[in-house]
Structure 1
């Protein structure tokens, strides 16, 4: 992952902050996937999730699926909808086109958190070394989360999910 492609994370008072920067592709999603898996199994779960995409320049369907899995986690834990900040019009078009506005509170503005609420020490999350099989399972989970959002996504991504399942078996 280059310096421009970063996943930054902080947990402050059980509020989980994600700052995703650069080109967000399945090829560099293993760190995010691993972090989400750890958060889901953590004994002290996040009580709120905030995601900042303002410095993201590209996001693929796997990453969108990882975001959808975060939203599903919040829903399962009966937490408020995650808040997602994005000022990138192309990314916003994709988010709304895939109906993520149903699962997130999307704020199309720069992140303006009160000075006391900004996580000072965000940790950079490193990519994990996934085998081809593990990477395939990550892509499958992400796309399954996307198609679980609504029927439109199901129609769009079901053929890919079926193909991935077939290849992984």
Structure 2
């Protein structure tokens, strides 16, 4: 299954439905969506993420989810709700402590919201590198375990980006 990002904002509730293999190579659309959210181009008071059709997530995508959770914390919004029934994806989410940042619900969603497809944003190699770096920084900001695990990745990325 190819990766797909679907999104809707209804009555200031933002819905994200992510499916397929979620890798850094196809994360620019999601990153662009998060940028629009953070820059207040999208008005949001609550976040819902549906991962019920995700088959794989890499650390960059997990970091993008961590960015969403951080946004909610910074805006004093309720914890985002994340729906996922995929055992391998749930195992990854819990192992990287996303259960501290999200209300994880291990069941199907019943939201009948009309979602629109989000296309990949055209990023330069430098922009992709910065996106990967920021995602991993959000991931290590969650807790010490992630910091220990991903700090070398962050340092390497900073070195490669000349930061």
For the aligned pair, the TM-score class normalised by the smaller chain equals: over 0.9
Match of 2:75 in 1: 77
TM-score by length of 2: 0.97
Give the whole-Å Cα distance in 2 for the aligned partners of 1:52 and 1:43: 22
Match of 2:152 in 1: 159
Give the whole-Å Cα distance in 1 for the aligned partners of 2:52 and 2:2: 13
TM-score by length of 1: 0.93
Aligned: 1:137 with 2:130 = yes
Match of 1:125 in 2: 118
* CA RMSD between the two structures: 1.0
Count of paired positions? 162
1:112, CA displacement in angstroms? Answer: 2.2
Describe the SS at the equivalent of 1:49. Answer: strand
Match of 2:109 in 1: 111
Whether contact under 8 Å (2:29, 2:121) holds in the other structure is yes
Range with greater deviation from structure 2 (35-44 or 151-160): 35-44
CA pair 44-34 structure 1, distance change in 2 beyond 3 A: closer
Aligned mate of 2:32, from 29, 34, 37: 34
Match of 2:8 in 1: 10
Give the whole-Å Cα distance in 2 for the aligned partners of 1:98 and 1:104: 12
Describe the SS at the equivalent of 1:90. Answer: helix
1:43, CA displacement in angstroms? Answer: 5.2
Describe the SS at the equivalent of 2:107. Answer: coil
Give the whole-Å Cα distance in 1 for the aligned partners of 2:146 and 2:104: 18
Whether contact under 8 Å (2:66, 2:101) holds in the other structure is yes
1:119, CA displacement in angstroms? Answer: 1.3
Describe the SS at the equivalent of 2:52. Answer: coil
Unaligned runs of 5+ in 2: none
